[in-house]
Amino acid sequence: MDLSIEGTLFHKGGFEHGCLGIKDGKIHAIKKTLKAEQHIDVGHQLILPAGIDLHVHFRDPGFPHKEDFSTGSLAAAFGGISCVMDMPNTQPPTTSISSIQEKVHSAQTRSYVDFGIYAAITNQNIGRIATLSPLCSGFKIYLGSSTQATVLSPQHLRAAFFESQRSQKLILIHAEDEPCLKRHHAVERNLVDHLRCRPSACEETALHDVLRNAQGLSPPIHICHLSSCEGVEVLRHRPSHISVGVTPHHLLFDVNTLTVEHTWYKVNPPIRSSFDREALWSAAQHHIIDVLESDHAPHTREEKQVEFDHAPSGVPGVETMYPLFLALVKKERLPLGTLLSLLCERPAQLLHLPKGTLEVGNDADIIVVDMNHTENITAERLHSKCGWTPFEGYPAIFPSLVFIRGEKLIQDHQMLMKPGYGTCVGV
């Protein structure tokens, strides 16, 4: 055994004091006591699986002033995330064999954490899904316009589902209906206008479209960032091959309490009412929602500090997601088991990754947390290039140690590994 970590483990749905034995990057044994070349006793701290963020925008290639794979993955690691899945709205967009291969190659030299790459399905490449499928970790479909996104016409949805059924690669969907968005288009001066321009009816229409087109097929579909009461109702009795994600910002913010002129919170789909927020909480607590995803979408302070109508949509969040929700577990807003299912276990299942639970045979992706050590989030302590956070001042519990495939990446607020440690998964 290379390493054993002793402490309070979250294992098979409960806590027990014991040792986690690691060999060749995998969890090799879980026992009361274990002998290994190196032993780490974490005392009263918890040993938990690292998180998997199946929705990040690391802007690499194309927008290195906002983020790149090295800064984005550094932020992920400090936030207890061992694996990120990157979205295709980069420049060039990830829509072809060469753009996928170049992104994978570049991320391989820069990423601190494990990663996967999604390709976008567009009206132009719809016929090439089978060719792209073995090269990427999944696909993204935008049914409505968003930052740098290429929208797929709904008449192609069924073909996309048919192809992904064959490959079993996850198809992630941005569910806002484009004709509906166009109908509501107007000048926006604040978050309430932004919400009026992207009403929940657009989410509802897109979700019905997805359900209709998936009928009789069983492709693995993931609805990204669910944002409305109506959306929860549409998906409440969905078939089991359709999973659903929610973001920290849709759970933690609502337009009733935000300063509405603030461009920081301009994001797609929009932050909605306190009713929507409560419906999402309830859905997350009652297992109607499968996954907590950050939708880490960094834009610089300068880009955000412009007139509301011209500000880009998107908020950063990969580093703060797990720590924010650990603090909410401490406040008994949700059980730890539910959080670990949302952040670790379900994303691993959906992506077929040997990660997400402390089980023998899985990758030794582990975080150690001191639940008595709550800190308030400040932008200065974070590692994204964008330099700000919408969660400034929020209580959070950051990991004290982070391991990926058995290697210690983070200790004493220091990154111990070099960029390029991360490896491509899900292909």
Edge-to-edge order in the sheet of strand 14-23: 26-31, 14-23, 3-11, 38-49, 366-369, 401-404, 407-411, 414-415
Dihedral sign for Cα atoms in the order 352, 354, 359, 365: negative
d(CA 117, CA 95) in angstroms, rounded, equals: 11
d(CA 25, CA 93) in angstroms, rounded, equals: 33
- Does residue 297 interact with ligand DOR by CB under 6 A? yes
* Minimum gap (Å) between residue 384 Cβ and Zn ion: 15
Residue numbers 393-412 binding Zn ion by CB under 5 A: none
Binding mask 253-272 for ligand DOR (x = CB under 6 A): --------------xx----
Q: Which does 73 bind (CB under 5 to 8 A by kind): Zn ion, ligand DOR, none?
A: none
Residue 400 contacts residue 369 (beta carbons within 8 Å): yes
> Which of the stretches 101-109, 141-149, 157-165, 272-280 binds ligand DOR when contact is defined by CB under 6 A?
141-149
Using the minimum distance from each CB to ligand DOR, give the nearer residue, 146 or 164: 146
* Minimum gap (Å) between residue 36 Cβ and Zn ion: 40
- Does residue 295 interact with Zn ion by CB under 5 A? yes
> Which of the stretches 25-33, 131-139, 143-151, 152-160 binds ligand DOR when contact is defined by CB under 6 A?
143-151
Q: Is 295 annotated in the active site?
A: yes
- Does residue 249 interact with ligand DOR by CB under 6 A? no
Using the minimum distance from each CB to ligand DOR, give the nearer residue, 17 or 301: 301
In this chain, which of 103, 174, 272, 385 binds ligand DOR, going by CB under 6 A? 174
List phi, psi (to 5°) of 20.
Answer: -105, 115
In this chain, which of 89, 164, 167, 205 binds ligand DOR, going by CB under 6 A? 89
Beta-strand runs (E) in 57-103: 81-86
> Which of the stretches 99-107, 142-150, 231-239, 275-283 binds ligand DOR when contact is defined by CB under 6 A?
142-150
Q: Which does 363 bind (CB under 5 to 8 A by kind): Zn ion, ligand DOR, none?
A: none
Calculate the alpha carbon distances from 18 to 38, 47, 49 in Å: 15, 10, 15
DSSP secondary structure string for all residues of 397-426: ---SEEEETTEEEEETTEE-SPTT---B--
Active-site residue (options: 86, 254, 295, 365): 295
Tokens representing residue 396 in the block: 């959070």
Burial degree of 88 (CB within 10 A; 0-12, 13-18, 19+): buried
d(CA 178, CA 180) in angstroms, rounded, equals: 5
Tokens representing residue 254 in the block: 């609502």
- Does residue 122 interact with ligand DOR by CB under 6 A? no
* Minimum gap (Å) between residue 102 Cβ and ligand DOR: 19
Q: Give the count of alpha carbons within 13 A of 173, CB side only.
A: 31
Q: Which does 222 bind (CB under 5 to 8 A by kind): ligand DOR, Zn ion, none?
A: none
* Minimum gap (Å) between residue 25 Cβ and Zn ion: 30
Residue numbers 299-358 binding ligand DOR by CB under 6 A: 313-314
Q: Which does 147 bind (CB under 5 to 8 A by kind): ligand DOR, Zn ion, none?
A: ligand DOR
d(CA 16, CA 140) in angstroms, rounded, equals: 39
What is the total count of residues that contact ligand DOR (CB under 6 A)?
11
- Does residue 176 interact with Zn ion by CB under 5 A? no
d(CA 337, CA 345) in angstroms, rounded, equals: 10
Using the minimum distance from each CB to Zn ion, give the nearer residue, 303 or 370: 303
User: By the criterion CB under 5 A, which residues form the site for Zn ion?
Assistant: 295
Q: Known catalytic residues?
A: 295
User: By the criterion CB under 6 A, which residues form the site for ligand DOR?
Assistant: 57, 89, 146-147, 149, 174, 267-268, 297, 313-314
